Amino acid sequence: MSPFVLSVALLYGAAPADAAASDVDRAGRLVEKELRYSEAVPLLRSLSANPALTEAERAQVYWWLGVALVAQGATAPSEAAFGELLRLRPDYAVDPMVSPKIRSAFETAKRRAAQSSGVNAILQAAPPPPVASATGPPWYRRWWFYTALTVVAVAAVTTSVMLLHRDADPTPTGTLPAIQLE
């Protein structure tokens, strides 16, 4: 940005908020779309200290910082970022489609926030989303159960038809007299 444009923007007071908002958008793009976490983390750390951010923007910055740190394998710093998010917005809820690693770090931060404040209201505010079991649906809802059931039914019908017609004469009887060949 040129010094002239920056000075005009500063004169009207629009630059700090607009610049901060565009940096927040850029950081979100780096984390969510481009997956460039190593570039996003320093930007997000600097944004978290920016006083021009609104509370909602700051909460979003802490969310993305936590996500980026989990992606880099830094669990403890990500939990600290999620803790700051929960300090700003104790009722923050995680999307059920979020990665289990991210959800785990967030839930750990949530438990620590509840323990440090001495209040369990955070844990009781929103129940955790149902987690699909690792084993999947019960056995009677699996494809192989209905396949086996179908095979047994077809075998039973075929066997009963064969047994009912076992005594019948296999040669067809017609109206023409039988001819003997010599």
| Residues 69, 149 within the same domain | no
Total domains in the fold of the chain: 2
Is the confidence at residue 60, as pLDDT, over 80? yes
Query: What is the percent of the chain with per-residue pLDDT over 90, rounded to a whole number?
Result: 7
Closest residue by Cα to residue 98 from 87, 82, 112: 82
| Residues 60, 118 within the same domain | yes
On whether the pTM is more than 0.85, the answer is no
How do residues 99-120 score in pLDDT, each as one tens digit?
888 888 989 988 888 887 655 5
Averaged pLDDT, 9-21: 49
Residue 59 lies in a domain: yes
* Residue 49, SS3 per DSSP: coil
What's the Cα-to-Cα distance from 35 to each of 11, 61, 76, 96, 145, rounded to whole Å?
36, 15, 20, 20, 42
Closest residue by Cα to residue 106 from 72, 80, 132: 80
What per-residue confidence (pLDDT) applies to 15? 44
Pair 41, 64: CB distance under 8 Å = no
Residue 16 lies in a domain: yes
Domain range holding 145?
A: 133-165
Is the confidence at residue 40, as pLDDT, over 90? no
Pair 30, 40: CB distance under 8 Å = yes
| Residues 88, 24 within the same domain | yes
How do residues 118-173 score in pLDDT, each as one tens digit?
555 545 555 556 665 556 778 778 888 889 999 999 999 999 988 887 766 666 66
Q: Which residue has the tokens 């079991």?
A: 133
What count of residues does the chain have? 182
Residue 173 lies in a domain: no
Residue 182 lies in a domain: no
Residue 46: pLDDT band (50, 70, 90) is confident
Averaged pLDDT, 31-37: 82
| Residues 73, 157 within the same domain | no
37 vs 13, higher pLDDT: 37
Burial class of 81 by CB neighbour count within 10 A (0 to 12, 13 to 18, 19+): buried
| Residues 74, 104 within the same domain | yes
CATH, residue 66: 1.25.40
Residue 61 lies in a domain: yes
| Residues 58, 89 within the same domain | yes
